[in-house]
Amino acid sequence: MREYHLSKSDIDVVMKSIRDGWPKHVSAVIKRPKSLKIIEMDDGSIDDNSILVGESMILIVKDGTILPFLTMNNLLVLFPSVTVDMGAVKHVCNGADVMRPGIVSMDEFDKGGIVGVKDERYGKYIAVGIASVSSYEARAMSKGVVVDNKHYVGDKFWEECKRRSIA
């Protein structure tokens, strides 16, 4: 595991990726950090399995996609979300994808977009993923994967940030 600060040009690459990959209304509120530390979880590159820590910002990079960390509520509320019943919480927090039968409500979202996953009882974010289908398609489904789970409570990103007292 390696940890270092990104150069200004690397920070610009991260910010461009956010501008290109996130909805306009979300990327517009993200300010370019003066410094950004990367914690590489594997021996891979900046494009995979990393935690990015800046002033008032924690992001993760998984499978080449930059996602907000689960404790970044001020950022997560800007993304669409799905709410799952309490029976699905245990499975989602163990890394399972979000299946249609477990969803009790959902916002509007497009296929391939970032989606937050909240529990029904407390409304807390328990996962962040990528939509496998649009919300329109999901409403017509009775079974199948709706959100591909990328980051969840208890995963290696969560545990590493907890260990370092980052989040």
CATH number of the domain encompassing residue 116? 2.30.130.10
161: pLDDT strictly greater than 90: yes
Note the pLDDT tens digit of each residue in 106-156: 999 999 999 999 999 999 999 999 999 999 999 999 999 999 999 999 999
45: pLDDT strictly greater than 70: no
Same domain, 59 and 102: no
Same domain, 134 and 83: yes
**Which range of residues forms the domain containing residue 94?**
75-152
Give me the number of domains the chain comprises.
Answer: 2
pLDDT score, position 160: 92
CATH of the domain at 48: 3.10.450.120
Q: Which of 46-60, 69-83, 87-101 has the lowest mean pLDDT?
A: 46-60
Same domain, 64 and 86: no
pLDDT score, position 47: 58
Domain end among 14, 36, 70 = 70
Same domain, 66 and 81: no
The mean per-residue pLDDT over the stretch 41-55 comes to 76
The mean per-residue pLDDT over the stretch 52-58 comes to 91
Q: How far apart are CA 75 and CA 105, in angstroms?
A: 20
Angle at 25 between CA 21 and CA 29, to 5 degrees: 95
102: pLDDT strictly greater than 80: yes
Same domain, 97 and 55: no
Q: Residue 148 — φ and ψ, nearest 5°? A: -80, 110
Same domain, 80 and 146: yes
Same domain, 51 and 89: no
The mean per-residue pLDDT over the stretch 90-102 comes to 97
Q: What is the pTM of this model?
A: 0.93
Question: Given pLDDT bands bounded at 50, 70 and 90, which one contains residue 43?
Answer: low
Domain end among 70, 86, 103 = 70
Same domain, 119 and 106: yes
pLDDT score, position 48: 72
Q: Is residue 163 part of a domain?
A: no
